[in-house]
Amino acid sequence: MAYLRFVIDKLDEDSGRRQGLFQAISDLEHAHALAPYEQKQYDELYEWFRKHLRKPASFTRSSKAHAKKVALSWYKDSAIEHLKKMRELCAIVEAHDQRVVVLQTSRPGFVVYEDDFQVVAEPFQDTLT
């Protein structure tokens, strides 16, 4: 199975890895950079994901309460509808001159959460992030 992750070139402050697409579009929203039609599209997509994608229970292998959350979310290649919706989000971000890269791997890392559509994993040292 292949796993896909949508990122931009900006590094995430918490993980030190490339920022994921949801964080990238959230930053655009907070900067009031989205046009009204983009905001409407984002709101609809966000609501779709809220209904069709579980929020992972954990982003770390550690059992410590304040452990740094370093795990990354990856879509399974079988999550066809989710991937289609992510590509719609890509178009919004790319319209703001941010290049989106789709990473693909068969080894996302140490899995800390999994469901039918995604895995959350702490990356291996050689995992492209």
What is the pLDDT confidence band of residue 52, given thresholds at 50, 70 and 90?
A: very high
Tell me whether residue 25 is in a domain: yes
Tell me whether residue 73 is in a domain: yes
Quote the pLDDT of residue 14.
Answer: 75
Tell me whether residue 129 is in a domain: no
pLDDT, tens digit, for every residue of 9-45? 999 887 788 999 999 999 999 999 999 999 999 999 9
Number of domains forming the structure of the chain: 1
Q: What's the pTM value of the predicted model, to 2 decimals? A: 0.89
Quote the pLDDT of residue 69.
Answer: 54
* pLDDT over threshold 60, residue 95: yes
Domain boundaries, position 28: 3-122
Per DSSP (E only), the strands in the chain are 3-11, 18-20, 72-76, 101-105, 110-114, 118-122
